[in-house]
Amino acid sequence: MEKEKYIASGILELYVAGSLSEAENKEVYNMMLEHPEVLQEVLDIEAAIVKLTKAAAPKDKVTFNSILNKLKGTDNDTKVVKLNKPKSNWSSYTGWAAAVILGGGLLWMNNQNSTLETQITEIQIEKDFFETQIEDLNSDLADSKKIINVFRDKDIISVPLAGQAVYPEAYAKAYWNKADKTVYLDLAGLPEPPEGKVYQVWSLTLNPLTPTSLGTIDNFKGDDNKIFNLENANESQAFGITLEPEGGSVSPTLEQLYTLGVIES
């Protein structure tokens, strides 16, 4: 489920109210770790409850007897509250959920232990979230070190790819490691592909001219470094990059050839 729909589903309010099962609580917890927007929404819900209960809470301490007395008339005749049959539509469900949240908020305000446990949970969630971010940063750092080592390898074949007629200002660079049959591509000099299009990388032999696809660059927009690696077990004599429909093409569209570079012999 997309995070926007997840936030709008009402499950976060039930999570704050403590009305979910253990499995559902775990699901919400994982969503908070994965999506900062979900974590922020939970914190906002709790903050709203605190603000609401501060404004609505009576000065006297809320007890079971005080609630019971409110339900009774001044003449001690018990008033009977008629309950309407619940509706199955979503608006009724969310209305019920709001009532549960308000009740949970009142209890939360009158129970210091519950407040402390909630704060500890929030701190743990934030701690886990930041630990995840640190792990991602460490992973990115490890990838960067690997790329630097590749570029410095004396056995790497470096191939500059010049811009072609369709986009003369384009440029790229290929780093071919024959030993592990991998080619690394620095594509920072290519423009962002339009919607529905991807870059496709080709290994070329020149006599006769024979292109072999090395694959498509599907995550070009999401990669900040614009450095990619593809397998290349071919006896390449040149590399070319074309713009193709999503999924790639069987043969290169020469009218959409963005860069081309010949390997020096």
Tokens read off for 93: 């469900």
Q: Is 184 exposed, middle or buried (0-12, 13-18, 19+ CB in 10 A)?
A: buried
* Cα–Cα dist 250/152, whole Å: 34
Does the global pTM surpass 0.75?
no
pLDDT digits (tens, 9 = 90+) for 86-138: 444 444 444 555 555 555 555 555 555 656 666 677 677 766 665 665 555 45
Instruction: Render pLDDT for 159-171 as a digit per residue (tens, 0 to 9).
Output: 999 999 999 999 9
Kindly report, residue by residue over 190-228, the tens digit of the pLDDT: 999 999 999 999 999 988 899 999 999 999 998 888 989
Q: Domain extents for the chain?
A: 3-141, 157-262
Q: How far apart are CA 50 and CA 55, in angstroms?
A: 9
β 171-177/157-163 pair status:
antiparallel
Asked if 259 and 160 touch (Cβ cutoff 8 Å), the reply is: no
According to DSSP, residue 78 is labeled: B
Which candidate, 207, 201, 178, places its Cα nearest to that of 261? 201
Reported as a single tens digit per residue, the pLDDT across 54-88 is 665 555 555 555 555 655 554 455 444 444 444 44
Q: Where are the alpha helices (DSSP H) in the chain?
A: 3-8, 11-17, 22-34, 36-56, 64-71, 90-109, 112-152
Query: For residue 156, what pLDDT band results from cuts at 50, 70 and 90?
Result: confident
Q: Comparing 261 with 62, which gets the higher pLDDT?
A: 261
Check if the beta carbon of residue 66 is closer than 8 Å to that of residue 72.
Answer: no
**How far is the C-alpha of 183 from the C-alpha of 264, rounded, in Å?**
16
Higher pLDDT, 255 or 179: 255
Tell me yes or no: is domain 157-262 CATH 1.10.3470: no
CB contact at 8 A, 217 and 199: yes
Percentage of the chain beyond pLDDT 70 is 61
Angle at 255 between CA 249 and CA 259, to 5 degrees: 85
Order across the sheet with 171-177: list the strands.
209-217, 197-206, 238-245, 257-262, 157-163, 171-177, 182-186, 227-231
Q: Which helix (H) or strand (E) holds 201?
A: strand 197-206
Residue at 158: amino acid letter: S
